């Protein structure tokens, strides 16, 4: 799992690649927490994400809660169909702003 950051105005875009699994969840959480410390408007580009496990979803849910508490924004974009199914099956497609 790799994360790149691009700042555009007050928006921080995280380009994520690889797997969001139990093995990468701790590193992913650290990247997300650092991003939230920089901006309360986060967009995550999932173009290069090829796997999402429950540990990855947990990090996303925690980020959403933290951003909601400060009237922030978390948007997920460019999610592949097979990954989007995970969000739909768990009902998280109703929780996140998926673009």
pLDDT at residue 91 in the model: 96
If we measure between CA atoms, which residue out of 63, 52, 62, 60 comes closest to residue 89? 52
With CA atoms as reference, report the closest residue to 54 among 22, 23, 12: 22
pLDDT of residue 85: 96
**Domain containing residue 51: CATH number:** 3.30.750.24
**Rounded CA gap, 46 and 51, in Å?**
10
The pLDDT value given to residue 1 = 94
Conformational region of residue 24, where left means phi above 0, alpha means psi within -120 to 50, and beta covers everything else:
alpha
Residue 56: C-alpha distances to residues 4, 33, 80, 84 (Å):
17, 14, 15, 13
* Pick from 75, 77, 7, 69: nearest CA to 38: 7
pTM for this model (two decimals): 0.94
State the Cα–Cα distance between residues 36 and 46, nearest whole angstrom. 17
Residue 62 sits in which domain range? 2-98
pLDDT bucket at 6, cuts 50 / 70 / 90: very high
How many distinct structural domains can be found in the chain?
1
- pLDDT for residue 69: 96
Residue-wise pLDDT for 44-89, tens only, equals 999 999 999 999 999 999 999 999 999 999 999 999 999 999 999 9
């Amino acid at each position: 799992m790799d994360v790149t950051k691009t700042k555009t105005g007050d928006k921080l875009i995280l380009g994520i690649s690889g797997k969001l699994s139990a093995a990468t969840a701790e590193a992913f959480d650290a990247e997300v927490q650092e991003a939230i410390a920089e901006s309360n408007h986060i967009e995550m580009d999932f173009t290069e994400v090829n796997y999402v496990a429950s540990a990855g979803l947990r990090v996303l849910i925690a980020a959403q809660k933290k951003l909601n508490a400060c009237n922030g924004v978390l948007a997920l974009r460019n999610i592949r169909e097979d990954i989007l199914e995970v969000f739909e099956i768990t009902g998280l497609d109703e929780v996140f702003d998926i673009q």
